[in-house]
Amino acid sequence: MKYSVICIGDELLIGQVTDTNSGWIARELVPYGWEAAYVKIIADDASDIADAIDEAMNKTDVVLMTGGLGPTKDDITKATLCDYFDGELVYDEVTAQNVLEVVRKRGIKLNEYTRLQAMVPSTCRVIQNQVGTASIMWFERDGKVLVSMPGVPHETCTMMQREVIPQLLNHFNDGMHVEHRTLVVSGIIESALAMKLDDFESQLPEYLHLAYLPKEGIIRLRLDGHHGDAALLKTEMDAAVAQLHQLLGSLIIADGDKPLAAILGDALRERQLTMASAESCTGGNIAHEITRIAGSSEYFTGSVTCYDTKVKINQLKVPQEVVDKHTVVSRPVVEQMVQGVCDLLGCDCSVATSGVAGPGGGTEETPVGTVWMAAKVKDRVVSQVKRFPGDRDRVINRATTEAMLLLLNLLKKE
C-alpha cells in the first residue's frame, strides 16, 4: 500500500518548526508493508492545500495530513477540507463533549475559539482526539482515504497508534501477514556492515527485506517480511535472524528495537549492578538518556555534572596535580572521575566524560570535538579518546553514545 503525507504550516516552510511527523509516520507504517510515495510540506493556503490533495489522491490510496487544525484564524485546513469534500461545517455534540473533557483534564477554561473545535465537516467521520482539542477527520472518495490530523507531534503520534493505524489496516486489509525484527549493531560502520551482509541480502527471498538504520554510533538492522502464509513467514524470519546472529556475533548488542540506554540498563539489571555518571562536556546528557527509560531507578543512582574544574577536584577528588600535569581533557582525569563518582554515590559502575564540545575552546593539542571518556565496572577501568566532527550538539550526542557503549562493552566481559 502506497500513501502520501502532506504537512501544513507556514512555520514549517520558514524553518521555525521542524517537521517530525512525516518521519514518525513512515517508521510506524513500514513494518506493515506500507510505502511512502512522497512527503510534501505546504503553506497555510487554501489553494495550495487543495492542489496538494489533488496530487496525492491521484498518486496514492491513502493521504495523511497533519497541521492547520488549531482554533486560530490562520488554521484553515478544516474549512478547506470541508470545501474540497463538498460538505459544510456542522456542530457535533460528541466532539463538543470530547473537547470539554480534554480542556477539563488540562485544568484550563474553555473559551470561544476552543469551543469552535466542535465544528466539523459534514462529509467526514470524526475520530475523537483523546489528547487534544483538534478532531481527527476521516474522508473517503472513490475508494481512497484522507485522514487529517493535528500538527502537534504528541497528538498525531498518540492517536495514530491508538486509532488511525488500526483503522487503516482494517479498512485496507489485503490478507497479507507482516512481521518485522530488529537487531541493534555496534562496532562497525554502515558500509563495512553492508559488505559483510552482501551475500546474505542477495539470498533473501523477495518477500523479505533488510534495512540499515544508522544513528550516532549504532546501526539498527530491521528485517521486514510480507507474505500470505503466516507460518511460512515466521519460519523464514526466524531462520534469517539466526543467520544474522551467526554472521555478526558480538557486533549485535540487542535483539529488538531498543534505545541504547535501555540496552545498557538491561545489562546492568541482569548483573544486578548499579551505575552513575560523572559528566563534564556532556552536561548531564548521559543521565538524561538513562533516566528516560522507565525503571532506571533500579540501577541508576545519580550523576555529578562536574562542568567546573573545582567540582572535579572537590566533589570527585581528582587531584589538583593530575589536572595541572595532564589538563582536564585527559585520560588520567576521566579515570579519576569514574572512581570518584563511584565512591561518592556508592555504585558498582560509572562513566565519565571530559572534552571540548565547541565551538570555541579548542587547542592544537586538543581540538574542538575531542572527548576523553572512561568506564568503570567494579575494579576494572577502561578509557578512550574520540574526536567527533560537527557542531556542539553533535559532539555532545556522540560522546553520550560512545560513553554508554564503552560501559556496555566492559559489562559484557563480566
Model pLDDT for residues 355-374, shown as the tens digit of each residue = 999 999 999 999 999 999 99
The answer to whether residue 190 scores a pLDDT higher than 80 is yes
pLDDT at 349: 98
Residues 210, 282: Cα–Cα separation, whole Å: 34
The answer to whether residue 75 scores a pLDDT higher than 90 is no
The answer to whether residue 261 scores a pLDDT higher than 90 is yes
Rounded average pLDDT over 57-82: 92
Q: Kindly state the percentage of the chain with pLDDT values over 70.
A: 100
The answer to whether residue 113 scores a pLDDT higher than 90 is no
pLDDT at 30: 84
The answer to whether residue 70 scores a pLDDT higher than 90 is no
| CA angle, residues 308, 309, 313, in degrees to nearest 5 | 125
pLDDT at 348: 98
67 phi and psi angles, rounded to 5 deg = 105, 160
Minimum mean pLDDT range among 177-181, 202-206, 391-395: 177-181
How far are the Cα atoms of 112, 265, 390 from residue 404, in angstroms, in the given order? 50, 10, 20
Please report how the helices 392-411 and 260-271 are oriented relative to each other, as an axis angle in degrees rounded to 10.
30
What is the average pLDDT score of the chain? Answer: 95
pLDDT at 176: 82
- The rounded Cα 120 to chain-centroid distance in angstroms is 32
Rounded average pLDDT over 173-186: 89
Parallel/antiparallel/unpaired status of strands 218-227 and 177-186 = antiparallel
pLDDT at 218: 95
Rounded average pLDDT over 250-268: 97
Q: What is the pLDDT of residues 306-359, one digit of tens each?
A: 999 999 999 999 999 999 999 999 999 999 999 999 999 999 999 999 999 999
Interacting residues of 167 by C-beta distance below 8 A, sequence separation 6+: 127, 138
Rounded average pLDDT over 249-262: 96
The answer to whether residue 216 scores a pLDDT higher than 90 is no
pLDDT at 114: 86
pLDDT at 180: 87
Q: To 10 degrees, the CA torsion angle through 252, 258, 264, 269?
A: -110
Q: What is the pLDDT of residues 378-400, one digit of tens each?
A: 999 999 999 999 999 999 999 99
Burial of 14 (0-12, 13-18, 19+ CB in 10 A): exposed
Rounded average pLDDT over 207-223: 92
pLDDT at 85: 97
Residues 239, 237: Cα–Cα separation, whole Å: 5
The answer to whether residue 74 scores a pLDDT higher than 80 is no
pLDDT at 375: 98
Rounded average pLDDT over 277-287: 98
Residues 110, 101: Cα–Cα separation, whole Å: 10
pLDDT at 33: 80
